[in-house]
Amino acid sequence: MVDKSSQSQDREKYYITTAIDYVNAAPHIGHAYEKVAADVLARHNRIRGREVFFLTGVDEHGSKVQKSAEAAGKTPQLFCDEMALKFQSAWKALDISYDYFIRTSEERHGRVTQIIFARARDKGDIYKAKYLGLYCEGCEDFKRERDLDANGLCPNHKVPPKQIEEENYFFALNKYKPILKEWLVNNPQAVQPESRRNEVLKQLDDPELGDFSVSRSRSSLTWGIPVPDEPDQVIYVWVDALINYITGIGFEEYVTGAQNGAGQFAKFWPANLHLIGKDIVKFHSIYWPAILMAADLPVPQMIYGHGFLTVEGQKISKSLGNVIDPVALCEKYGADAVRFFLFAGTPFDQDGDFSREQLVKKVNAELANNLGNLLNRTLNLVVKNCDGKVPNAEADHNLREIANSIHPVIDEHMHKLEFAKAIEAIFALVDQANKYIADERPWTLFKEGKQKEGEKVLFTALEVLRRSALSIYPFTPSLAAAIWHQLGYAEVISVVGEVGEEKHFETIPVGQSVRNEGPVFRRIEEAVVE
């Protein structure tokens, strides 16, 4: 068991956020990758008794969204309303249990963004100056010439940036660079994995990284949040977007003293984890902490930049025709199969690949053949030989010790966002249980009249299944709930965490009636792939 005394007291609350997605295009499997990862962590912490707040949402301002709305012949707000529903539908299909879905076009968010902007401006950390620079609309970011490829194109969007000259507001980043560096040196966990942290430290040593523009002229951008007391200026979309993390947890209620939600910000901020893609680490690890410092607010505890997801070895791209709709994917294979496959192979800090063929092989092998068959044959034997009830026995000592040792290993892997290793540990226990049954042959023991010996084997298998359901629940919530139900529990597995992680070390109640209702996960037939 994890020693709680060795962990920070704020582990009892857990605030996790994802990056918010631009609504200029529909959600695809790449967007889903991050959102499912955050959901896995949210469920993992909930079932261990922690109070969790999980925030996700969409980024609705900026020139990209404005142009997409114009191309669709719609107002930006109507366009955003329709696109936000698409993202919410996708996350519902994937069984993502967020607590709040934020939209940056919310009036509340506009007010919070203006409060933070005004705080920094009043402090002298935001000032007005003329600017001439190269701006990539795809990145919604200014580029240096050395950031471009050999053809003078943005390496991400393969288009030349536009040269823009405006009088804008700037943020005094140079003032905060030494403070940010000290923060990262003294708090190694603040930016992870280590390779991303090293990148950020290197960027902070770059003399070309300095004060940056935090507004645009309304003549060039109309779809955004106005600068306080200066409506001809619009707040830079990245500043606007980053502030969603405090809007969604009730910052406005906190500063105004409103009754409903004032305590939420005080309880959950700073965030335990900002989960983001590796391409936006600079914004979250340099710009965002500096803005928070300027606003006299605590910085997040950890920023984690995960790898990208490719499809059949290729970058996700409309031009390649490999954009995968997560809703259609769930309709074909089921949410549990998709969720499980996304994290069962590639380490989360590295780029992963999505393949339908590999999905079918992996989920059939592990969820259907391995875990599913362990449940099926155990329950069949319990019904046949124990009157359908959990026998009065004790678990095999060796297997119980293995289970006890694996549980904290899983917990540690999850804490480090090592999802593939956590899944590997879960199935190491399932493998041990399958081997144990094969070796002990309980069907033979019952035939030979060795009732107690046979009951011990079945009780041990039931206990491993109970542990496995709790451990795999964050990855495959519906499958885990089905196993939990068939093991005979009246409660739903998602509320088990209300009694804390000690539940993992209890045992399945003797005499509890199981529900042998058939396979909990059916094999995906090859015909479905075609």
Query: Rounded to two decimals, what is the model's pTM?
Result: 0.91
The active-site residue, picked from 92, 157, 162, 202, is: 157
Catalytic annotation present for 31: yes
Closest CA to 17 of 292, 242, 309: 242
CA distances to 39, 145, 286 from 443, in Å: 40, 73, 62
Catalytic annotation present for 306: no
The active-site residue, picked from 128, 315, 435, 452, is: 315
Catalytic annotation present for 386: no
CA distances to 242, 426, 474 from 481, in Å: 35, 16, 11
The active-site residue, picked from 44, 80, 109, 154, is: 154
Report cis status (omega within 30 of 0) of the bond before 226.
no
In the CATH hierarchy, which top-level class contains the domain 4-328?
A: alpha beta
Q: Are 112 and 247 in contact (CB under 8 A)?
A: yes
The active-site residue, picked from 80, 136, 330, 386, is: 136
* Comma-separated ranges of CATH 1.10.730.10 domains in the chain: 335-343+351-529
Which pLDDT value is given to residue 8?
39
Q: Are 58 and 26 in contact (CB under 8 A)?
A: no
Catalytic annotation present for 330: no
- Which residues are within 8 A (CB) of 512 and not within 5 positions of it... i.e. 6 or more apart? 389, 390, 487, 488, 489
The active-site residue, picked from 31, 109, 306, 407, is: 31
Architecture of the domain whose range is 335-343+351-529: Orthogonal Bundle (1.10)
* Comma-separated ranges of CATH 3.40.50.620 domains in the chain: 4-328
Catalytic annotation present for 80: no
Look up residue 228 and give its DSSP letter. Answer: T
3-state DSSP assignment of residue 131 = strand
Which pLDDT value is given to residue 7?
35
- Averages of pLDDT over each 10 residues, the chain, 530 residues: 35 91 93 97 93 97 91 96 98 98 98 98 94 70 73 76 82 98 97 97 95 90 94 94 97 85 87 97 98 98 95 74 89 96 92 92 96 97 98 94 91 96 97 97 97 98 95 97 96 73 77 96 69
Catalytic annotation present for 284: no
Report cis status (omega within 30 of 0) of the bond before 193.
yes
Catalytic annotation present for 274: no
Which pLDDT value is given to residue 210?
94
Catalytic annotation present for 485: no
Nearest-angstrom CA–CA distance, 292 and 125: 11
